[in-house]
Amino acid sequence: MGRRNNNDAHGITAWDALADKTRRRILLLLHSRPHTAGEIADQFELSAATVSHHLAVLRESGLAVCERRAQTLIYSLSTAAVQQLVKELSVFLKK
């Protein structure tokens, strides 16, 4: 558990990313559908720089993916990363 994501240059794990309430709220937004960075920022009373930081952590951890469409950044939930977390947590359900 808590393994480093091989795609992550900064060593941020999904568990690290989940430690913050704002990032968990962003993931809940992304669970419903992909959102633009602006749509995500509109949901929080935070500076654009702070929201950008949270999105960067989520991308670096592998929990969120970002796609550029022209000038717009579209963020979505990485279901593969969430499935990995569920798999890691499942050890606590086994007897």
pLDDT value of position 34: 97
Q: What is the mean pLDDT of the chain?
A: 89
Position 80: which residue type? A
Cβ partners under 8 Å of residue 14, min gap 6: 5, 61, 62, 63, 81, 84, 85
* Torsion (CA) 24, 29, 33, 37 in degrees, nearest 10: -100
Q: Per-residue pLDDT tens for 67-85?
A: 999 999 999 999 999 999 9
pLDDT at 21 over 70: yes
**CB-count burial class (<10 Å; 0-12, 13-18, 19+) for 88:** middle
Report the percent of the chain where pLDDT is more than 90.
80
Pair 33, 57: CB distance under 8 Å: no
pLDDT at 65 over 80: yes
Rounded to whole angstroms, the Cα distance separating 41 from 29 reads: 11
Of the listed ranges 9-18, 28-37, 80-89, the least confidently predicted one is 9-18
